Amino acid sequence: MNLIYAHSYRTAHAYAQHHDFAPGDWKWLQDADVVRHNPRADVFKVERWEYNPQRVKIDEALQRARATQRLGTVMEVNEANMGVGLGH
């Protein structure tokens, strides 16, 4: 599963379409439950992810998942680099 950490569903959807993610292969990281329900998912932090209204809770869930090795790769994505891995 690919989790797209964006400030809105619209931005996440646009990123998924641009990268040819099939429906069902990605979810918008809208709250901490999405992290818990998708162990070992890869996370794509797209531009303006820090404006997600649930950022604090999502960041805590990502940290817990990382600490228990239940998180895939986290990628910071922007127009300049289009995907630099941040590791596990």
Q: Which residue has the tokens 């090795």?
A: 69
pLDDT tens, position by position, 13-69: 999 999 999 999 999 999 999 999 999 999 999 999 999 999 999 999 999 999 998
Query: Are β-strands 2-5 and 84-85 bridged in parallel, bridged antiparallel, or unpaired?
Result: unpaired
Single-letter amino acid, residue 75:
M
SS3 (DSSP) at 66? helix
With 80 as the cut, is the pLDDT of residue 10 above it?
yes
What DSSP state is assigned to residue 79? Answer: T
SS3 (DSSP) at 26? strand
With 80 as the cut, is the pLDDT of residue 82 above it?
no
pTM for the predicted model, two decimal places: 0.86
Q: List the domain boundaries for the chain.
A: 2-85
Nearest alpha-carbon partner for 49 in 6, 78, 18, 87: 6
